[in-house]
Amino acid sequence: MKVGLEREIKELNWQIREARRAATAALILEEKLDAQKHIKAFEVQRSAQRRALFDARDDIDHRREQLIVEIEGKLDQKTSLWELFSIRWKII
């Protein structure tokens, strides 16, 4: 999931760069305005993808912490000694 989000963010960054180039190259004001709208839409998508990526990273960190606590609990074993039965010997 994380790799896919990173790839989508890179793709959105590329689309933003291309839209900015188109806005710069546009001669007609309407084209510049249209390009700016595309840029804004791509930036909104990129922001949402970044938020999703950060949430995924937070989820991974939380799971990792849970596993560490669980493993520590398993490693923290205590032994106890109980007398279950006793045998007495007597030689006659």
| Residue 87 is assigned to a structural domain of this protein | no
Please say whether the beta carbons of 42 and 16 come within 8 A.
yes
Q: How far is the C-alpha of 82 from the C-alpha of 84, rounded, in Å?
A: 6
pLDDT of residue 29: 86
| Residue 59 is assigned to a structural domain of this protein | yes
Please say whether the beta carbons of 44 and 35 come within 8 A.
no
Q: How far is the C-alpha of 47 from the C-alpha of 51, rounded, in Å?
A: 6
Per the structure, the complete domain to which residue 20 belongs is given by 2-65
pLDDT of residue 2: 63
Q: How far is the C-alpha of 92 from the C-alpha of 86, rounded, in Å?
A: 20
Domain count, the chain: 1
pLDDT of residue 58: 93
| Residue 73 is assigned to a structural domain of this protein | no
| Residue 22 is assigned to a structural domain of this protein | yes
- One DSSP character per residue, 23-56 reads HHH--SHHHHHHHHHHHHHHHHHHHHHHHHHHHH
- Going residue by residue through the chain, which has 92 residues, state the pLDDT in tens, using 9 for 90 and above: 567 888 888 998 999 898 888 888 888 888 888 888 988 998 999 999 999 989 989 999 999 999 999 998 888 877 788 888 888 888 87
